[in-house]
Amino acid sequence: MPSTKLFSTLLFSLTLSLFLQTSFGADPLFHFCSNSQNFTSNSPYESKLKTLITSLIYKTPSTGFGVASVGQDQNQKAYGLALCRGDVSASDCKTCVSEAPKEILDRCPYNKGAIIWYDYCMFKYLDSDFFGQIDYSNRFYMWNLNNVSDPASFNYKTRELLSQLAQKAYVNNKLYASGELKLENSETLYGLTQCTRDLSSDDCKKCLDDAINELPNCCDGKEGGRVVSGSCNFRYEIYPFVKE
């Protein structure tokens, strides 16, 4: 699909600099501002958004996931969700979900909807109800610039590991799985898969399968890669990156 190609090409130069930044840990990976309306300073939406953000910062760290909606009037409600990576401690989760809204408000000022991703968490809000629906509109890829020496076999193993982890994640109560696979050259492939917990188990599986099918577009023959969306994501590397 030409649009997918264009998308990856555009993101390629971005990910180059993003990789350098994110090796230090706390900078955002990516963000999107939604196409929806803007709100104004001191408007009811602004105050609802503030309440929503406070609520998500409070709710999320204990379980690694939070959803909230604020407001009575259907047309004025704010909906939000925060998710921490499945292996992240409550305190690292709290740091991440506290930092995310500050950054997002800076990057998408007065926008009624936005989404931002970090290594440790994602944070999303919108002026319409998006809970329980697979997010097909917010998605990006990242990949390690290094090429593997045997792409065909490596790609096969990568798909095998991620498919196993998708099978594990969708039946897990946190919709999360991590694991590893030995490669022939005494290297190990490490991976994780995760969905937001507003999705049904079946939709989690569907979201991850769709993401895994993007492997050839995203990370063909690359030592590491991620497909990240508003509803699910995977990551694989040839070094351990999950805390356990």
Ligand X SMILES: *[C@@H]1O[C@H](CO)[C@@H](O)[C@H](O)[C@H]1NC(C)=O
Interface with ligand X (CB under 6 A): 37-38, 110, 145-147
CA–CA distance, 46 with 127 (Å, rounded to integer): 11
Beta carbon of residue 236, minimum distance to ligand X (angstroms, whole number): 17
- Structure tokens, 129: 């109800």
Beta carbon of residue 210, minimum distance to ligand X (angstroms, whole number): 25
Closest to ligand X by CB, 38 or 153: 38
Beta carbon of residue 146, minimum distance to ligand X (angstroms, whole number): 5
3-state secondary structure of 182: strand
Give the relative orientation of helices 44-63 and 90-107 as an angle to the nearest 10 degrees.
Answer: 160
Beta strands in 61-173 (DSSP E): 65-70, 78-84, 114-117, 121-126, 139-143
CA–CA distance, 27 with 214 (Å, rounded to integer): 25
Beta carbon of residue 40, minimum distance to ligand X (angstroms, whole number): 10
> What residues does 116 pair with on adjacent strands?
31, 123
Closest to ligand X by CB, 19 or 110: 110
Beta carbon of residue 234, minimum distance to ligand X (angstroms, whole number): 21
Closest to ligand X by CB, 63 or 147: 147
Closest to ligand X by CB, 25 or 151: 151
Closest to ligand X by CB, 110 or 241: 110
- Structure tokens, 103: 């950054």
